[in-house]
Amino acid sequence: MTRERPELMDLTEHLFELDVYRSRGGYDAARKALGMSPVAVLTEVRDADLKGRGGAGFPAGVKWGFIPRDGKKPVYLCVNADEGEPGAFKDRWLMTHDPHLLLEGIIITAYAVGAHDGFIYVRGEYEAAALRLDRAIDEARAAGFLGEGIFGTKFGLEVMVHRGAGAYICGEETALLESLEGKRGEPRLKPPFPASVGLFWCPTIINNVETVSNVPRILRDGAEAFRELGRPGDGGTRLFSVSGAVVKPGLYEVPVGAPMKDLIFQHAGGLPSGRTLKAVIPGGLSAPVLRADEIDLPLDGDSLFRAGSMIGSGAVIVIDDGTSMLDILGIMTRFYAHESCGQCTPCRIGTSWMHKTVVRMASGNGNMEDIDEIARVASAIKGRTLCPLGDAAALPILALVTKFRTELGSRVEEARVRSGSW
């Protein structure tokens, strides 16, 4: 079977311009999809085993199936382009370089779930990406791919870009909805889930940029082709944002289940000379760290989960022996304390507590007990919070203080000596 562009990433220049995109077969998949029934489209995506690429990894087609088809309320589609996970930049690339791919994916997704309004929630800092999307939307509308009667069918769709304003928590789907409704980005209790009670209390699908960007090729090449690219139950390829101590930081596309070592040492060129690998964070800052001896595994959700971590947003951060784990701990605790929305007790107080302790340790007033205390506080946050940010803070911090306890101990001791404390 010949397949054009099995890759998600198309490096053609000026792909963000409509005529270039169309010359690459753009919008053909959408046209095909709109000639099928919405249920058929949904089935195809479900059969492709496309897992969410935002971090939660929930199968997209299954999520779409939760939308009621009784037509009682309008259905909304939200694309989560908040990409705040430290280390991740894949969505930025997709939106800046290939905005029409996302739009095409939105058209197909909206059609499948019965949505006529789509919102792309772009984080406030992604100026260039938002501008490219706006421009692409205008082009698409002018060409009749958005608006009323798309491809001569009865299906109509309006899409708009909605800018965030600097809050990592708005990457959590219910906080995104709150923010989209003009409020503080405070996550909601689940259940009910957005598929039943979402934007403006209507059924809503929220999908990540990369997830939706994969939809056109599923329609173009078929579910089986997509499935075969990956692993059983986890189809396709994934984009990995690789950064940190590597020679070639950047965005790399590999099949789901490709070896992590290959990604780091082949695609990203390995570590700079003179440096040794100490640790890898495999899925963004919220993914528990792996020691250098733990990275011999395939890059798929299940494998990483079994290794005590997660694939998250596929952001791989490579850490070398020159980096202090205490510094990393400080960045982690600072980040979650800053981004905690403040609604629920354990996260609001616990993230701040941990950060205050690390600051004290780094300034020379800490000891080994403090490291264990941080672990205890992280455990007290775990599983108790209103939204996943609690675990996103607790799990990586727990992994770090457990796996690098000795090094942290010496760093804290060094800080004491430096500061002159007894």
Partner 1 sequence: MVKIRIDDRLLETAEGSTLLKAALAAGIDVPHFCYHPAFEPEGCCRMCLVEIDGAPKLELACSTRVQDGMNVLTSSPKVMEARKEVLEFLLAEHPLDCPICDKAGECRLQDYYERYGRFDARFREPKEKRDKIVPIGKRLLLDRERCILCTRCVRFLREVTGTGELGVFERGARTEIGPYEDRRIDNAYSGNLAEICPVGAITDTDFRFKTRAWFLERGASICPHCGRGCNIDIEFRPEPDHQDPGRKIFRVRARENAAVNGHWICDIGRYGHPYWTENRSRFVLMNKGAKTTRLSWDKVLIVLSEKIKGLGPRGKGGRLGLILNSFLSNEELYLIGRIFREAIDLGNAWFADPKPQEADRLLLTAERSPNLKGARELGFESRPPDLEEIAKRIEVLLVFGSGLREAFAVGDVQKALDRVPVKFLFAAHTAPGDDAYDFLLPAALIAEKPGSLTNTLGLVQEFQPVWRPPGEARPEWEVLGDLARELGSGEAWTDLTIVREAMAREYPFFRKGHD
Partner 2 sequence: MSHGFAPVVLDEVRAVAARYPRREAALLPVLRVLQRVSGALGRAEEELAAELLGLEPIRVREAVTFYSLFRQKPAGRHIIQVCINLSCSMAGAGRSLAALQTRLGIGSGETTSDGRFTLLTVECLGNCDQAPCLMVDEDDHGRVQKEQLDEILGRYP
Q: How far apart are alpha carbons 242 and 299 in whole angstroms?
A: 13
CB atoms near residue 72 (< 10 Å): 8
Q: Based on the shown chain and the rule CB under 8 A, indicate whether residue 356 belongs to the binding site for partner 2.
A: no
Q: Based on the shown chain and the rule CB under 8 A, indicate whether residue 125 belongs to the binding site for partner 2.
A: yes
Q: Based on the shown chain and the rule CB under 8 A, indicate whether residue 247 belongs to the binding site for partner 2.
A: no
Query: Which of 143/331 has CB closer to partner 2?
Result: 331
Q: How far apart are alpha carbons 384 and 100 in whole angstroms?
A: 40
| Interface pick for partner 2 out of 250, 269, 270, 409 (rule CB under 8 A) | 250
Query: Which of 6/250 has CB closer to partner 2?
Result: 250
Per-residue H/E/C for 80-131: EECCCCCCCCHHHHHHHHCHHHHHHHHHHHHHHHCEEEEEEEECCCCHHHHH
Helix 389-403 vs helix 325-339: angle between axes, to the nearest 10 degrees? 170
Residue type, 132: R
Q: Based on the shown chain and the rule CB under 8 A, indicate whether residue 173 belongs to the binding site for partner 2.
A: no
Query: Which of 98/391 has CB closer to partner 1?
Result: 391
**Reduced to 3 states, what is the DSSP secondary structure of residue 241?**
strand
| Interface pick for partner 1 out of 352, 364, 402, 407 (rule CB under 8 A) | 352
| Interface pick for partner 1 out of 37, 342, 414, 418 (rule CB under 8 A) | 342
Q: How far apart are alpha carbons 23 and 404 in whole angstroms?
A: 52
User: Of partner 2, partner 1, none, which one does residue 89 interact with (CB within 5 to 8 Å by kind)?
Assistant: partner 2
| Residue 5 φ/ψ region, left for φ over 0, alpha for ψ in the -120 to 50 degree band, beta for the rest | left
Q: Based on the shown chain and the rule CB under 8 A, indicate whether residue 283 belongs to the binding site for partner 2.
A: no
Query: Which of 23/345 has CB closer to partner 1?
Result: 345
List contacts with partner 2 (CB under 8 A): 83-89, 91-92, 117, 123-128, 160, 162-168, 179-185, 200, 241-245, 249-251, 281, 285, 315, 317, 319-320, 323, 327-328, 331, 335, 338-339, 341
List contacts with partner 1 (CB under 8 A): 167, 184, 189, 337-346, 348-353, 356-357, 360, 373, 380, 383-386
